[in-house]
């Protein structure tokens, strides 16, 4: 259920230029013949730390009665990231461009369904549950190998199998910071992009959970009540941007403190609709800045127990100016956030 990235795939994205070296010319590609656990163990043994993995789907957002488009986030990232300049500021030998989850058949079925039709909606939620299994199966060996996955594309539904995989490997619930206007704590009504964290909480995979930038008017009373009952917490957009009760750094410090409780692993989750005017499944004109999002990723990545970065919901086709503009903007932002994560892990203080 994994499509490994190949030299031929690379040629579709990386544009060569005389006298310059691009990231795509230096980044590590997987051996197509090695068994999956051996491939990951070899990367780790050679000093590797990061694994880039894409999920090209919009099944979760459609199952949440939302819009498609998140299936192009991974492609937008590759077009921008692989053509960035390579220099001494980034150690590409620590990064494995692994590939993408094989979910094309599920995606094809999903796009043929009408999420306003109750029967079709139930089918979409079943397809999302099938996707959960595929994501969990591919992520678990990455965590077992001691590597840090960076998962890009698709809906925020994929937070659930990510948390499941890490919790199973660590044998304890995972603490999680989520930059998101939505808590994604909707009822357990069948899997979709709006209930990844409520499902994870109910299954015992989610420990201390903190949402930063939650918009009070974009979350139902039921979701907020479920969030409170689960003992989780949030800092709202209104506290930050309207009432100015906290600076962004003060809020981020609270998130970090919350996620550092106990000895649990830490998940870094970011829904790109938290970013103002970002082409996403739910386009948001009242969000935070790219700089704030990058600081969220960077500062959390410096925590020794931070184990992964998940960038969800980027939907290039949702750009008001069209797909080309959306691919450009999504690619730039996603690449910047991935680099912030790698930079933060690289500059991580030594454990005491």
Q: The tokens of 255 are what?
A: 């998130």
Q: What is the pLDDT of residues 191-238, one digit of tens each?
A: 999 999 999 999 999 999 999 999 999 999 999 999 999 999 999 999
Cα 151 → chain centroid:
5
Q: In the prediction, which pLDDT does 352 show? A: 52
The residues with which 123 forms a beta bridge, in sequence order, are none
Helix axes 118-144, 104-111, angle to 10 degrees: 160
Per-residue pLDDT band at 91 (split at 50, 70, 90): confident
Per-residue pLDDT band at 67 (split at 50, 70, 90): very high
Q: In the prediction, which pLDDT does 194 show? A: 97
Distances (CA, A) of 211 to 24, 181, 217, 254, 255: 34, 8, 14, 11, 8
Q: What is the pLDDT of residues 5-64, one digit of tens each?
A: 999 999 999 888 888 889 999 999 999 999 999 999 999 999 999 999 999 999 999 999
Q: The tokens of 96 are what?
A: 């494995």
Which is it for the CA torsion 60, 65, 69, 73, positive or negative? negative
Q: What is the pLDDT of residues 311-352, one digit of tens each?
A: 999 999 999 999 999 999 999 999 999 999 999 999 877 665
Percent of the chain at pLDDT exceeding 90: 92
**Nearest 10 degrees: CA dihedral of 54, 176, 205, 189?**
-70
CA distance 27 to 6: 12
Q: In the prediction, which pLDDT does 282 show? A: 83
Q: What is the H or E stretch that residue 51 is in? A: strand 50-54
Distances (CA, A) of 324 to 75, 261, 289, 329, 344: 12, 43, 22, 9, 30
Under a CB-based contact definition with an 8 Å cutoff, are residues 126 and 190 in contact? yes
Task: Look over the chain and give the mean of its residue pLDDT values, rounded to a whole number.
Answer: 96
Q: 177 — phi, psi (to 5°)? A: -110, 130
Topology (CATH) of 2-346: 3.40.800
Q: In the prediction, which pLDDT does 283 show? A: 85
Q: What is the pLDDT of residues 143-177, one digit of tens each?
A: 999 999 999 999 999 999 999 999 999 999 999 99
In our burial notation (b when 16+ CB lie closer than 10 A, e otherwise), range 134-158 reads bbbebbbbbbebebbbbbbbbbbbb
CA distance 199 to 60: 13
Q: What is the pLDDT of residues 232-269, one digit of tens each?
A: 999 999 999 999 999 999 999 999 999 998 899 999 99
The residue-averaged pLDDT of 122-145 equals 98
pTM, rounded to two decimals: 0.97
Q: In the prediction, which pLDDT does 351 show? A: 61
Q: The tokens of 66 are what?
A: 């939302």
Q: In the prediction, which pLDDT does 332 show? A: 98
Residue 243 has what DSSP assignment?
S
pLDDT at 299 over 60: yes
Under a CB-based contact definition with an 8 Å cutoff, are residues 206 and 164 in contact? no
Nearest to 74 by CA among 111, 48, 39, 101: 101
Q: What is the H or E stretch that residue 170 is in? A: helix 159-170
Q: The tokens of 40 are what?
A: 């990951």
CA distance 114 to 188: 21
Nearest to 208 by CA among 158, 161, 267: 267
Under a CB-based contact definition with an 8 Å cutoff, are residues 230 and 209 in contact? yes
CA distance 159 to 268: 10
Under a CB-based contact definition with an 8 Å cutoff, are residues 326 and 318 in contact? yes
């Amino acid at each position: 259920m994994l499509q490994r990235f190949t030299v031929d795939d690379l040629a579709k994205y990386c544009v060569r230029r005389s006298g310059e070296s691009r990231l795509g010319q230096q980044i590590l590609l997987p051996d197509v013949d090695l068994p999956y656990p051996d491939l990951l163990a070899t990367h780790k043994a050679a000093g590797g730390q990061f694994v880039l993995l894409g999920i090209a789907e919009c099944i979760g957002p459609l199952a949440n009665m939302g819009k498609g488009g998140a299936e192009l986030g991974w492609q937008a990232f590759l077009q921008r990231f692989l053509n960035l300049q390579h220099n001494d500021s980034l150690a590409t030998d620590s990064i494995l461009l692994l590939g993408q989850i094989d979910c094309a058949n599920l995606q094809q079925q999903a796009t043929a369904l009408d999420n306003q039709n109750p029967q079709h909606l139930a089918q979409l939620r079943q397809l999302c549950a099938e996707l959960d299994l595929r994501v969990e199966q591919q992520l678990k060996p990455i965590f077992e190998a001691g590597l840090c996955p960076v998962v890009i594309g698709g809906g925020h539904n994929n937070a659930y199998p990510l948390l499941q995989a890490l919790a199973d490997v660590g044998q304890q619930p995972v603490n999680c910071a989520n930059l998101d206007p939505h808590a994604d704590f909707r009822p357990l009504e069948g899997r979709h992009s709006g209930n990844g964290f409520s499902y994870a909480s109910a299954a015992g995979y989610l420990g201390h959970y903190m949402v930063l930038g939650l918009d009070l008017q974009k979350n139902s009373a039921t979701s907020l009540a479920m969030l409170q009952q689960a003992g989780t917490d949030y800092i709202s957009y209104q506290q930050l941007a309207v009432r100015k009760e906290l600076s962004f750094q003060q809020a981020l410090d609270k998130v970090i403190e919350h996620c550092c409780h106990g000895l649990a692993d830490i998940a870094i989750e970011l829904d790109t609709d938290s970013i103002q005017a970002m082409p996403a499944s739910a386009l948001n004109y009242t969000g935070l800045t790219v700089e704030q999002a990058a600081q969220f990723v960077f500062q959390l990545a410096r925590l020794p127990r931070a184990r992964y970065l998940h960038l969800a919901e980027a939907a290039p086709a949702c750009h008001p100016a069209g797909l080309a503009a959306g691919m450009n903007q999504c690619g730039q932002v996603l690449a910047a956030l991935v680099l912030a994560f790698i930079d933060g892990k690289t500059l991580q203080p030594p454990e005491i």
